[in-house]
Amino acid sequence: MRTITANINYLYNSGFALELSNHFLVFDYFIDSTNLLTPASIATHPHPLVLVSHGHHDHYNPAILEWQQYNSSLRYIFSSDIAAEGSSIHSMSSHDTLDLGDVYVRAYGSTDLGVSFLVRAEGLNIFHAGDLNWWHWREESTENEIENAERAFLREIEPLRGERIDIAFFPVDPRLGQDYDAGARKFIELIKPGLLIPMHFGDNFAATKAFAATASSLQTSICAITHRGQSIVYTKRED
């Protein structure tokens, strides 16, 4: 039996850093108040890969382009809406695939700007939704607007049906009011990831606790985020 371990660190908003045995993945870096991503740490990580789902300021900080000076093996994967060029930068649009040899990436769609990512590395399938969500405000939207938003969301996640996802990062946004977790619940119902970690909630950590508590009956494990810099250990065992 083989054991695969991922050390997951919450940065802020939709930003996460994952440490695997031989890879270091960073998603949607915006702010890091944890001092996890220092020049010294970036220099020592093997095979760092930085992914950005789209160019909104709370998902993309151009400062990440400076990191390459600390580690020449660092690679970037950007959504095609981001205007950045370089030999280490790979640009992806929805449904593009990228095989880096040690890492495989497929870009899926979004219901906002950019893409979502499915990353396969070291035996793990990791999904980062970016701004893919069922975006609606039940207290303000019309029924027609809500239905249209749901159809758009279901259309984008349909290609994910049947994919085995070990870890999913998905929006649970309290700004949406009473339906703050509707997209995440529908995603769990249809895709059934092993672990779902909430994101895109700003500083409202209570929303992730409420979601974890109310979604405890679902088959997917839910991790509540309680503070910046929180570390989560994910373990998977394979025969």
Nearest-angstrom CA–CA distance, 65 and 21: 24
**Tokens 């915006």 sit on residue:** 30
Q: Are 135 and 163 in contact (CB under 8 A)?
A: no
* Domains: count for the chain: 1
Low-confidence ranges of the chain (pLDDT < 70): 239
Domain of residue 53: give its range: 2-238
The CATH number linked to 152 is 3.60.15.10
Position 50 scores a pLDDT of 97
Nearest to residue 237, comparing CAs of 188, 169, 166? 166
The secondary structure of residue 47, as a DSSP letter, is S
Tens of pLDDT along 128-169?
Answer: 999 999 998 887 778 898 899 999 999 999 999 999 999 999
Q: What's the pLDDT score for residue 199? A: 98
> Are β-strands 15-19 and 24-27 bridged in parallel, bridged antiparallel, or unpaired?
antiparallel
pLDDT of residue 84: 87
Quick: pLDDT tens for 78-92: 999 999 888 899 999
Residue 16 CA to residue 128 CA, distance in Å, equals: 9
Residue 79 C-alpha from the chain's centroid: 13
Query: Could you tell me how far CA 113 lies from the centroid of its own chain?
Result: 14
Structural tokens at position 104:
């495989």
Provide the pLDDT for residue 169: 98
Whole-number pLDDT of residue 94? 97
Residue 195's contacts (CB-CB under 8 Å, 6 or more residues apart) are 166, 167, 168, 220, 221, 222, 223, 234
